[in-house]
Amino acid sequence: MTSTWVEPSNTATALLLLGRGSDPATERGVECPGDLPAPSDPDLVARAAAAKAKLGSKVFVLGHHYQRDEVIQFADVTGDSFKLAREAAARPEAEYIVFCGVHFMAESADILTSDAQKVVLPDLAAGCSMADMAVLSQVETAWDVLTDLGIAARTVPVTYMNSSADIKGFVGRNGGVVCTSSNAKRALEWAYQQGEKVLFLPDQHLGRNTAVLEMGFSLDDCVLYDPHKPNGGLTPEQLRDAKMILWRGHCSVHGRFTLDSVNDVRERVPGVNVLVHPECRHEVVNAADFVGSTEYIIKTIEAAPAGSAWAVGTELNLVRRLALANPDKQIMFLDKAVCYCSTMNRIDLPHLVWALEELVAGRVVNQITVDADTAHHARVALDQMLALPGADTPPPIAI
């Protein structure tokens, strides 16, 4: 059996999500300064290669798994957000770190790299809707609510890597830890050794799925804190009784998959394996065959037997790349609708060429910097994550 890739329908939406438009709900609305090369420029690939060659070892280009192929081809390393930040820190000779990802990822790279290194985000509009759902002032207000109820001292904040430096700093200042989608269970186990409750930021789905499916909690042990409502829309009793206080945040890509998506693909493709990311909704994760981080998804597909069928619930660029790299398997997108990460796709070849050529000219553009105090406390929370048992060999979730 061979894989036949068919682009999803809905061309207008596809163009929007490819970065050829704007989405006020998920973008920071920051315009890129300077004159960008035209997307139609036939020399873009050659220009990128030439600029990268001129910079040599002074530049290190990071490419997140969800990036476009036209950008990925110039990445020195690909991976998830934390892996890429660590790779940058391991290249002290690189004066410039060009992060083809989104804003919070570039912040993490700046936190982990030396002061001599400069982190560049080719398009400042490449934000993350999930990270933007937890604003520091909102989180501080929530913490004040818990303090007034007398439960903040027994609550440990845990934030997903997909959060701003401000939120990581808050967690570090308050005795918490950062987690990834791979080590969320270990981070929560550590947190419950320190206190009785967890405030989990900003992705409600990863927190809920980890607590219920991996740690044996019930759905009733979890409450959802809405920062746009007084006291999070919860009663004092609900907050006092909860073991997991979940922030009302989600990934705009993974949150689009539904139980109907799973049921539909099972009807259309007998024997299909459903493989999804833990940022998906609880009912989707519960109905899947395999659940794990982006790295786990890649390794699972690569290790799958020839002829097997897979419906993958994650970002479309990655699923398409997996399908093309594994022609002996039937690999399809879990849902029929387009599901690109619109802000990740803001970084295209013209932006990358512009950023590299500006560096060649001696101009550092779109530099991402985190203030020293925030960086210090964020590093505390990140170091706590690295100190978790088994931090380098995270087990996947399998259902």
In the annotated binding site for [4Fe-4S] cluster, the residues are 128, 251, 341
Q: Which residues contact 211 (CB under 8 A, 6 or more apart)?
A: 188, 217, 221, 222, 243, 244
Q: Where are the alpha helices (DSSP H) in the chain?
A: 11-17, 44-55, 69-72, 81-89, 103-112, 129-132, 136-148, 165-173, 184-194, 204-209, 236-241, 259-268, 282-287, 294-303, 316-325, 349-360, 372-386
Residues in the chain: 399
Distance CA 290, CA 231 (A): 36
HSE of 378, CA atoms in CB hemisphere, 13 A: 26
Q: Which residues are annotated as a binding site?
A: 64, 81, 128, 160-162, 181, 251, 277-279, 294, 341
Helix (H, G, I), strand (E, B) or coil at 343: coil
Distance CA 213, CA 197 (A): 18
Q: What is the DSSP letter of 197?
A: E
Q: Which residues are annotated as a binding site for iminosuccinate?
A: 64, 81, 160-162, 181, 277-279, 294
Distance CA 23, CA 115 (A): 34
Distance CA 347, CA 40 (A): 15
